[in-house]
Structure 1
Amino acid sequence: MAAPAPNRPLVVGDPSGPFPPYPLRMSGQVISGFGRGSKELGIPTANLPVDDALTPWISSVPSGVYFGWASLNLPPSHPDSTPTPTTPTTTETEIPDWSSSSRTRGANGFTVYPMVMSIGYNPFYKNTVRSAEVHVLHDFGADFYGAEMRLLITGFIREEKDYSGLEALIADIKFDCEVAKRSLAREGWAPRGVDVEIDLPGEAGEDRGVEKVVMRGELDCAWLIRPSQLPKEKGDEEGK
C-alpha cells in the first residue's frame, strides 16, 4: 500500500472512545443500490433507506465517510449465518458475556461486524439522491438483501470529494477501510461484552500480512443485538 497523504491519519478519534454527537444510530432492511460497489469498485456495499423521519440526524450531518459497527440478522439459509447461543434475552443495557475464537458473535440472531460507510451524493458518479452505502468489513458468501441491519456510527473519517479517475476513488476507499479498522481496534471503541474480529494489516508501507485481532472493549453496543422488532418470515420461524 502506498504511504498515506500527510493529511490522512491512519487513526481518528480520541483513544477513550466516541464523543458527542457520536455514536449515531441507523437501521433498516438492506435495499438494492446503484450496482457499482462489487462490479466497478470491487468493494461491495449494502444500502439502507435515507429517511429523515426515521433518522432525523441524517439531514444535519455533513456528506462524507463514517465508520463504526454494523449488526446483521441473516436468515438461517445464508452461508454466513451464525447460530445464536442460548442466552437470556438482552435488554438495552444488558449484554450476554461470551467469546468466540473465529467469528464475531452477537445475540438474538445478530452478528456484529466493523464497517465503513458513505453518506452523501458521491460526486464522482454525480448522484442526484443522497444515499447511505455501507461496506461491511467481512467477506460474505452471498448477498443479504432484505436482511435487518443496524449501524452504530462512531465517528467521521473525511468529507466526500470528486476524483480524476476510478483508481483514485478505489485507493481512497481502501485507505478509509484501513482507518476504520485501526480506529475501531481500541478498547474505547470496541463493543463491550461481544468479541469482534478485525483484520489489521501491517503499518502503511510495510510488507506484512494481515493479522486477525479479536477485540473486546468498553463501548456500549447493546442496541446492536437487542431482539428484532421486524416480523419474522415463515422460513425464519421454522428455522429453515
Structure 2
Amino acid sequence: MRSPRRRPSCGSHVPRRSRAKQGRARGDDRGLQGTTGAGLIITQRSSDLPPPPADGSVVSLGVFDGVHLGHAAILAANVARARELGSRSTVVTFRGHPKEVLLGRAPRTLTTLEHRLELFRRSGVEHTLVLSFDDKLRSTPATDFVTDLLMEQLGARALVLGFDSKIGRNQEGTPELLRQMGFPVEVVEKVVVAQRAVSSTAIREAVGLGDLDGAGAMLGRPVSVLGTVVHGSALGRTLGFPTANLDLHHELHPPAGVYAGRAHLLASDATHDVEETHLAVCNVGTRPTVQDREPGALGELSVEVHLLDYEGDIYGRRLELEFTRHLRSERRFDGLDALKAQIRLDVDAARAALA
C-alpha cells in the first residue's frame, strides 16, 4: 500500500489534476451527463472531471438508495459544511449496486440512478460524480482512492460520512484512517424511527409488504417512483379513464393492487422542477381482465396512472408517482363494463382518501 502523496487540511485542496483511475461508464447513462437542475452538475465518470473548484469540495460517498432520512441527514450536513467552508457540496455515488460485484447479486433498488440524482438536487447538492463499481474500483486501496480521486480530482477539504461508511479495498478506509491522513471527517449518526434504524434494506422490506406508512416514515416522504410516460394499449382512454403508463427502469414499487396517490409532472427543461401535481389512482399489476385482449402482455407487470381531472398529452414526460393509500387488490372482472364500473368506484375512493 503506498503512502498518500500529500495531506489535505481543512483550508486547502489539491488543485493538480491527475489521470483518471476509474474505468469508463458502461451501459445506458440515460442522458444524465451535465446539469440536470438548478445547481446540480453531474459527471458520469472520473475521467470527465474538470479541475477541482478553487475552494475545494466537501464530499460524501455512498449508494444512497432511496435517499431516506439517514441519507438526508448526511446530505444536509454536507451542504451545511460546504457553505461554512465556501466549498462545493459533492456526492460520489455508484451506477448500479455494489452488491452486484461483491456478492454476485443485488437487491431491486428503491430509486433508480435518475431518481437519486433528482433527490440529490432537491437536497441542495451541487455536484455528483457517478462511478461504476467494478472489480478495479473494488480492489483500489483506500489511500489510493483518497489521494487520486478525493484529493487530486475533487479537491476534497472535508468528508461527511454515514455511521457505517467505509472506503476502499476490504472497507479499510475507516473514519479513523481518513483522519490519520489529515482529513476532517464528520460522521453522521444513524437515524431511528419507531425504534428501528433507518436503512434501505428496512424500507425495501416495508415496500415489499405494502407497508406504505412504515416505508414513508423512514423515507421522510411518501413512497414514490420516477419514470417516463410511454405509450400503452390506450384501453383506459376507450373506457373513459385515460392512463399514463410508466417505464420505471427496474425501480422497486409496492405489491400489485390499486392505489391512491399524487402524480407530479416534472419540467422538461434543465430545472426538472415539478410543474404540475394531480390527484391520481394507480394500478400496479398484470391487468388480468384485459389479458385475453392483449396476449402479448400476458403476465407482464405494468404501472398505469389515471390523473384525476386532467386532460392533456403527457407522453414522453417524466412523472413522479407517490403511493399514498392502498385501495384494493387487483382482480379479474367479468368484462370491460364491470371493469369500468369498478374504476369509477376506485376514482371516488381515491378522492376520499386524498381529501
Q: CA deviation at 1:32?
A: 0.6
Q: Is the 8 A contact 1:74 1:144 kept in 2?
A: no
Alpha-carbon distance in 1 for matches of 2:339, 2:226: 27
Give the alignment's TM-score, normalised by structure 2.
0.35
Alpha-carbon distance in 1 for matches of 2:229, 2:282: 14
Alpha-carbon distance in 1 for matches of 2:348, 2:275: 24
Q: Is the 8 A contact 2:225 2:322 kept in 1?
A: yes
- Which residue identity does 1:129 align to in structure 2? E
Counterpart residue number, 1:209: none
Q: CA deviation at 1:74?
A: 5.7
For the residue of structure 1 that corresponds to 2:343, the secondary structure is: helix
Matches within 5 A, 1:69-80: 69-73=262-266
Name which of 226, 231, 242 aligns with 1:27. 226
Q: CA deviation at 1:183?
A: 0.8
Is 1:130 equivalent to 2:130 in the alignment? no
For the residue of structure 1 that corresponds to 2:230, the secondary structure is: coil
Counterpart residue number, 2:240: 42
Distance 1:184 1:109, change over 3 A: closer
Matches within 5 A, 1:34-183: 34-39=233-238, 41-52=239-250, 55-56=251-252, 58=253, 61-73=254-266, 108-126=273-291, 127-140=298-311, 142-183=312-353
Q: CA deviation at 1:24?
A: 1.1
**Which structure has the larger Rg over C-alpha atoms?**
2
Q: Which runs of 5+ in 2 are unaligned?
A: 1-211, 217-221, 292-297
Q: Is the 8 A contact 2:261 2:325 kept in 1?
A: yes
Q: CA deviation at 1:29?
A: 1.5
For the residue of structure 1 that corresponds to 2:237, the secondary structure is: helix
Task: Kindly indicate whether structure 1 or structure 2 has the higher relative contact order, using CA contacts under 8 Å at least 6 residues apart.
Answer: 1
Q: Which runs of 4+ in 1 moved over 2 A?
A: 73-76
Distance 1:74 1:34, change over 3 A: farther
Q: Is the 8 A contact 2:225 2:248 kept in 1?
A: no
Counterpart residue number, 1:5: none
Once the two structures are superposed, residues 108-155 of structure 1 have per-residue CA deviations (whole angstroms, 9 ceiling, x without a partner) of: 352111000000001101233100000010231x31101111111112
- CA-atom RMSD, angstroms? 2.1
Q: CA deviation at 1:157?
A: 0.6
Q: Is the 8 A contact 2:226 2:248 kept in 1?
A: no
For the residue of structure 2 that corresponds to 1:167, the secondary structure is: helix
For the residue of structure 2 that corresponds to 1:138, the secondary structure is: coil
Bigger proportion of residues as helix: 2
Alpha-carbon distance in 1 for matches of 2:353, 2:279: 10
Alpha-carbon distance in 1 for matches of 2:267, 2:229: 11
- Which residue identity does 2:284 align to in structure 1? I
Tell me the percent identity.
34
Q: CA deviation at 1:19?
A: 1.9
Once the two structures are superposed, residues 42-97 of structure 1 have per-residue CA deviations (whole angstroms, 9 ceiling, x without a partner) of: 11000111433xx23x2xx3211011111113669xxxxxxxxxxxx9xxxxxxxx
Distance 1:51 1:109, change over 3 A: closer
For the residue of structure 2 that corresponds to 1:20, the secondary structure is: helix
